[in-house]
Structure 1
């Protein structure tokens, strides 16, 4: 397990639907090594979103083992999970999830401000990361003043700023046109070449093909690794 950033063994997750129990994940086991670019591919309702939420410590499994960067997630309380989400994982969402009232710079600085970093240092880092994703001339723009592709770049910068162990991307091209989506996927390939571990959730095989490895999730189970 030494070089695994993610280790899962027999992960199960169910939800109550009235009197019925819906089993969404049925004994998922997987390992993702540091520096990998992995796509989790599956149709709607396959369980991939639930798996993503467990990987991202947004939700916890009913049973099974999950070790993230050497930490046993099952043993963590809510406050500890919140800390892990902020420190270990950089989230990239389909709909960007940016704070509309704030500039790109403030959106990117936000995770560091949550950690207690002083405002000047956090904003200095934010400007640098925005330059690295090609938005050095857009730091004072608010989300609605940016194109979809630019908003996703801000989202990527926000995910990168805390130097997380994992970039977790949920349908990152879902709200973008084909050309812009391709640019974002090429950015992921470059980020992976720089050593970033990326886990990307998608229903689209063509998107998944940009990853180094594809994990197929169907009906709550992994078909192959």
Structure 2
């Protein structure tokens, strides 16, 4: 079984997600105490896709995160670099055009999407800035971006409890439901090392996104970051 480290070498991260693909969605539901569904609804509401729009769902894994956009009538393209995740997704959602791609070198032309989103995957990319610039490139002028990612709880007692859960409770819980519990040790470490809400907003601005803002979910355990591509 594979376990990536915080250097986030692409092959190691992809292999790790290949290992956990079969039970990934179930494990996430268990570890988040069912919150993942609420977070997905929040992403869909924030992106506010319209029928006929083209949406890039980056880091889509098995494609579960893409379903709300398809149901809204959008032409959604789920993209991920884990072939294991994509194979599992194809079994479950054969109607979705699951696409293999590296977030830092997307296989799409300039300006072909109306919106882009990435949920719980940006922190696993070895070059965050490159991924943000690539999403900017493939979105049309005026196009929208929504990022859903683990963040830093704003209430100090919650932050303490959350950190304890990540490093002590999460690994044994993952062992009972995941095909590769060691992967969740890496995931816990990657969450702790990730920048806070203001820090990620700064990265969006540095990459060229405008109208950057964020909204906390579940007390800041998760944050939704939004941006727009400047008009030409």
**Same topology, TM > 0.5:** no
Larger strand proportion of the pair: 1
TM-score (norm 1): 0.29
TM-score (norm 2): 0.29
Larger helix proportion of the pair: 2
**Higher relative contact order, chain-length normalized (CA < 8 Å, sep 6+):** 1
Question: For the pair shown, which has the larger CA radius of gyration, 1 or 2?
Answer: 1
